[in-house]
Chains A and B, each alone.
With several copies, the nearest count.
Chain A
Amino acid sequence: MTTTAEDRLHEYRRTLRAWLAGHVPENPTGDVEEAKAFQAALHDAGYSGITWPAGSGGQGLGPAEQQIFAEEAAAFEMPVRPFLIGMGMCGPTIVDLGTDEQKRRYLPPLLRGEEIWCQLFSEPGAGSDVAGLQCRAVADGDGWVLTGAKVWTSNAQWADYGAILARTDPDRPKHGGITMFVVDMRAPGLTVRPLVDMTGGAPFNEVYLDGVRVGPDDVLGQVNAGWAAAVTMLGHERVTISGLRQKRSSGLTFEALADLGRRHGTDPVARDRLADLYAHQRVLELFNARMRQETVAGAAPGSRGSVGKLAGAMLLRRAVDTAGHLAGANMVAWEDGDTGAASLELGTNSTPASNIAGGTNEIQRGIIGDRILGLPREPQVDRGVAFRDLTVGTQTSAAETSSEQTPKGGS
């Protein structure tokens, strides 16, 4: 009897499940050394870079194995956060666009958990409009000098390398004068500052570049073709975000709110809201499951990922509202140490992030309208205009550059 593909996948799942059960830390500390050790263990076990080509140090497997990994990993809180951007976005982009030398230099240490990456796209003046970025890369000898500011950079505080977009030619229209570079996060002139968000935490950073040098070997893709490189990388982001959803405790799930209801008591109106919340949460789960099934069956999800992103964000808003119906003044004030209430607060205060980060709800609706429904585009007033003639962000004069601005965040 021959082994069928199905048998093989079944065996893959069985082995993986056992490995995860034996290796994922029970109470992850969340620190970076733990992540490095775990990523190294994943690599040693053959679970690092599952779909990356063998020639780039990956496992050379297909979407079925990747999907199995995602499904099995969903049961665990894996300490891989610092590697999500490197493994999910920067690495695959290097696989796609990198030179042989870049692949040789950067991929193995990434796969082995030795080097951490970050992504430097967003700027104070370029939020939704990423291509409106102002970070300058001024030619200097055979290299460039980078000056500007980046925001909302995860990992920057412990990253070794960053994939950065900078403007190499302001005389071209905005998409045409951008280049992607690899930048050493410890280079002279580069400063990382934690950015305190409205939850009071600082999971993101601001990164200031003041005359940071990059060389010709640091170009990822081609000079002035950075927008295409960014699109490649953001395509990987979508897959990463939808594929590697991990178990996360949140005060805003139906389950958490149902518990809250059991603690504080419910009335028919609160139950009505809670049932409606469950229905919304469940149909979104089913949509995501259906997307995964279609992906495994060979249909590329394409822009439909925007539906999940948008619906997930709106679901959290609904949950915040439902929480108020259940908790009342208990959501206003609570005893120190009441972890349920604190997790409700964190959920409430981080809900705006879900509606903004990674493309605002407005951007997602635009993607659905333009790319899925094929609705006509809005007039694009900045197309074909040299970047230096455009106004971007909140600058008040055309001469102003990002390094002179207070950080303003993206819209």
Chain B
Amino acid sequence: MDLVLTSEQQELRAAVRDLLTDHADSARVRTAMDSDTGHDAELWRRLGTDLGVLGLAVPEELGGAGAGHVERSVLAAELGRALVPSPFLASAVFVLDTLLALPAQPARDELAAALASGERIAALAVAEDGAGVFDPGPSATRATRSGDGWRIEGRKSPVLSGEVADVLVVHAVTDDGPALFLVEAGASGLTRARLASIDPTRRLARIDLAGTPATRLDGDAAAALSAAGDRGAVALAAEQTAGIERAMELTVEYAKIRVQFGRPIGSYQAVKHGCADMYAAWEQSESAVRYAAWAADHDPGALPLAAAVAGVYVGPRYFEVATGMVQYHGGIGYTWEHDAHLFYKRAKSDELLLGTPGAQRARLAGLLNI
């Protein structure tokens, strides 16, 4: 296994970081998160077209870069580090991975290419009643044949980037079992309502489908969601790990210059040892992500366990580190003006996006056969 980035991968990281330094500093992040769409369309275009990184894990024949999950984890990390509000996770991770786990078919191939270029944005409408993003639960959403196509009746919530998406990948139950469908943004009977969220840098929506026309995708929906869930967990863990690193860096930086009682607060063990624990959490998270991303590319059989370990370990660590970030910044860290709260809120939304910590550990326990 390779746990160290190659020089090409490090160059990719530098290129993305350069782009985001120029186009996604704190002020721009705040502008984007407060905008109507909740993201910066211009930055999206740069990622998709100029840098061409939205399809890093997509084969070249489907319009992607033909790199892999290690490369995509590097991109996810940089976006997470800068807290970039974007449809990346929904469109270029959750949906793309789901599509790639289905058999080749025109509708899939066409959409994958459009997502890899950033030309279109998609969202995964699977969860109902506030479950994790990949969890259809005991789905109450039904799809029935209607002429050549299908019509869907049901409600999906939460749907990450559901409002901004051009197309939705919807999980619904048919007479012959669960399946995935494509629903266009403009389809009849489709309504989308923005949900309130703890995380100002994320947009989530409720989707109502009332006899909405849909295109059925061939393939095993459960298997595709499971495969995509593992890959999505890797990208999410990469984002979280980079968040840990950045939160730690900013905290350490502040602890060096903030003086109380005649010396920098970073010289006090309460703060110093807290920062050391952040560092230990980061080193281990980074190792978990490196391995899981490598497994996604080179040892798919090991991926479910590797992804579950990363999810179980990294999620709570990010929130702990972000909590420490606010704490060691003291009053300034509690203001809206400072970015600490954005890390805190992102860490909480990331921790719960794929289900409760207990559910994630239960999944790991299942894989471990305990």
Chain A interfacial positions (CB closer than 8 Å to B): 122, 124-129, 132, 151-152, 195-198, 200, 258, 261-262, 264, 266-276, 278-280, 282-284, 286-287, 289-290, 293-294, 297, 304, 307, 310-311, 317, 320, 324-336, 338, 341-342, 345, 348-349, 352-353, 355-357, 360-362, 364-366, 368-370, 372-382, 385, 390-396, 407-411
The residue in chain B whose Cβ has the minimal distance to the Cβ of A350 is B334
**A348 x B348 contact (CB < 8 A):** yes
The residue in chain A whose Cβ has the minimal distance to the Cβ of B263 is A381
Nearest CB of B to A59, in Å? 27
Give the distance in Å from the alpha carbon of A266 to the alpha carbon of B318 in the complex: 24
**A362 x B266 contact (CB < 8 A):** no
A129-B260, A329-B352, A365-B277 given as contacts; is B331 within 8 A of A409 (CB)? yes
**A382 x B356 contact (CB < 8 A):** no
A196-B337, A311-B284 given as contacts; is B344 within 8 A of A352 (CB)? yes
The residue in chain A whose Cβ has the minimal distance to the Cβ of B266 is A375
9 cross-chain CB contacts under 8 A: A122-B331, A261-B370, A275-B312, A275-B362, A278-B368, A279-B364, A289-B3, A332-B199, A349-B344
Q: 13 extra interchain contacts, Cβ-Cβ under 8 A, other than A278-B309, A411-B258?
A: A271-B365, A272-B365, A287-B283, A289-B3, A329-B132, A349-B198, A365-B269, A377-B267, A380-B261, A382-B262, A393-B258, A394-B259, A409-B329
**B358 x A325 contact (CB < 8 A):** yes
Stretch at the interface among B56-64, B67-75, B320-328: B320-328
Interface: B300 (CB within 8 A): no
**A364 x B330 contact (CB < 8 A):** no
**A369 x B266 contact (CB < 8 A):** yes
Nearest CB of A to B304, in Å? 13
**B252 x A373 contact (CB < 8 A):** yes
Q: Which 10 residue pairs across A and B have the least CB separation, nearest first? A: A409-B331, A382-B262, A409-B332, A411-B330, A198-B341, A330-B130, A369-B272, A333-B204, A269-B358, A368-B276
Q: Is the interface of B mostly helix, strand, loop or mixed?
A: helix
A332-B352, A349-B198 given as contacts; is B258 within 8 A of A394 (CB)? yes
A366-B269, A393-B259 given as contacts; is B356 within 8 A of A328 (CB)? yes
**B309 x A283 contact (CB < 8 A):** yes
Which residues 118-146 of B have a CB within 8 angstroms of A? 127, 130-133
Nearest CB of B to A191, in Å? 17
Chain A hits for B338, CB < 8 A: 409
Chain A hits for B265, CB < 8 A: 411
Give the distance in Å from the alpha carbon of A364 to the alpha carbon of B273 in the complex: 9
Nearest CB of B to A30, in Å? 21
Chain A hits for B27, CB < 8 A: none
Give the distance in Å from the alpha carbon of A122 to the alpha carbon of B332 in the complex: 12
The residue in chain B whose Cβ has the minimal distance to the Cβ of A309 is B280
Chain A hits for B49, CB < 8 A: none
Give the distance in Å from the alpha carbon of A392 to the alpha carbon of B262 in the complex: 7
Chain B hits for A304, CB < 8 A: 283
Chain B hits for A390, CB < 8 A: 262
**A197 x B288 contact (CB < 8 A):** no
